[in-house]
Amino acid sequence: MEIQKAYFFRVPPEVFYGIGAAEKVGELAKPFGRKCLMVTDPGVSGAGLVDEIKTRLRSSEIDTEVFHEVEPNPSVETVEKALKAFKDFGGEFIVAVGGGSPMDVGKAVATLSTNGGRITDYEGVGKVEKPALPVIAIPTTAGTGSEVTINLVITDRPKKHKFPVIDKNVAARIAIVDPVMTLSLPPGVTAATGLDALTHAIESYTCTITHPVSEVLALEGIRLMGAYLRQAVANGKNLEARDKVMTGCLMASMAYSNTRLGNVHAASTPLGGFFDVPHGIANAILLPYVMEFNVLGDPKKFAHIAEALGEDIYGLTELEAAYKAPEAIRKLSDDVEIPKTLKEVGVKEEAIEDMAKEAMTSGNILVNPRATKIEDIISLYRAAY
């Protein structure tokens, strides 16, 4: 009998999930103080979501300032501007509203407020000594899962380098996950963020350090997002579809925060650093190519993924069923109109070798289900180009 190896499982933040959950933000924020910096981006602010949250906070007598200058693939400089705004205001805690970028910036500001230095000082794993100030994370996309992870990712633009900070001390204190907050999300962003979450689930499920708890979460996340993402893209006001996709994203995020990812994330990160490709788009384009490469590393799991994505695998061998998984991803990407090639999103072919060198520095390469050399990453980039 095979004995399961030892593993940790953590879910650092409290999660408050449900339709209308964001209406409780004022009540949930009261224990953290009376001065809050809200970190967001222009799109979320323009959609009116920030005003609603601000009203709820003020009704609980919490003085709130808004920093809404967060860009996609947020930079070190943006973190420093937000930190200055927080200090100048005399903030006590942060409410981060948006996709992964505002949540990552909010977590970075909270981390620097207690640990000092620059965010570049904490690149890597386990370098944050003190718990960050309280962050309430309210996602407006079903994508990165930053609301429940111990990760944040920032871009050093002069170096064309995206880097992670991974430590339990950077996690938000509370995640308020409300599908209503995603209703105004445009179809293209719904598709890209949904494929990002699906990538998290697939890579967590298949990486070499997965375990039974994360596997259950990841596989159910795959099933939910595979079944409902098309509907959420086709009609953004479909609250049932939004709810199922958000639940799938939450499960995927809890899973990968307790494992790691794989070659998709290793290879997608340089695309953001070199060419500012949105993270979800980068993952979505690379995903089927990496899955095809990885099938031989764990055919059984890829057969399970194919079945979870709705493929009919009856009568097929395990390997035949496994190759249905990347086919299913291609069908889904086509249906939700994800770009098909790296060339379409502005990547230059002459940068492939430099990006591959950068990708090989990622710890995700080490847990990918199939052993990977730099030549393999170059081939994957060229196939996707």
pLDDT tens digits for 36-80?
Answer: 999 999 999 888 899 989 999 999 999 999 999 999 889 999 999
How does pLDDT run across 92-111, given as a tens digit for each residue?
A: 999 999 999 999 999 999 99
What amino acid is encoded at 252 in this protein?
A
| pLDDT grade for 6, boundaries at 50, 70 and 90 | confident
The whole-number pLDDT of residue 298 equals 97
pLDDT in the model for residue 227: 97
The pLDDT assigned to 342 comes to 95
Are the beta carbons of 240 and 183 closer than 8 angstroms? no
Mean pLDDT of 131-138: 97
State pLDDT tens for residues 250-260.
Answer: 999 999 989 88
Q: Is the predicted pLDDT of residue 197 greater than 60, yes or no? A: yes
**pLDDT for 156:** 92
pLDDT at 275 over 70: yes
28 has pLDDT over 80: yes
pLDDT at 309 over 60: yes
User: Any idea which residue has 């209406």 for tokens?
Assistant: 23
Structure confidence at residue 146 as a pLDDT band (50, 70, 90): very high
pLDDT tens profile 209-228: 999 999 999 999 999 999 99
pTM of the model: 0.93
Q: Where do the domains of the chain lie?
A: 14-182, 187-384
**In degrees, to the nearest 5, what angle opens at C-alpha 251 toward C-alphas 285 and 4?**
105
Rounded distance between C-alpha atoms, residue 360 and residue 373, angstroms: 8
Pick the CATH number of 187-384 from 1.10.10.10, 3.40.50.880, 1.10.3720.10, 1.20.1090.10: 1.20.1090.10
> For residue 75, what is the DSSP state?
B
Read off the pLDDT band of 5 (50, 70, 90): confident
Cα separation, 237 vs 241, whole angstroms: 9
CATH architecture of 14-182: 3-Layer(aba) Sandwich (3.40)
Q: What is the pLDDT of residue 171?
A: 95
Mean pLDDT for all residues in the chain: 94
CA distance 182 to 186: 9
Q: How would residue 144 be classed by pLDDT, with cut points 50, 70 and 90?
A: confident
The pLDDT of residue 3 is 67
Identify the CA nearest to 258 among candidates 7, 5, 9, 4.
9
Instruction: Categorize the per-residue pLDDT at 8 as very low, low, confident or very high, splitting at 50, 70 and 90.
Output: confident
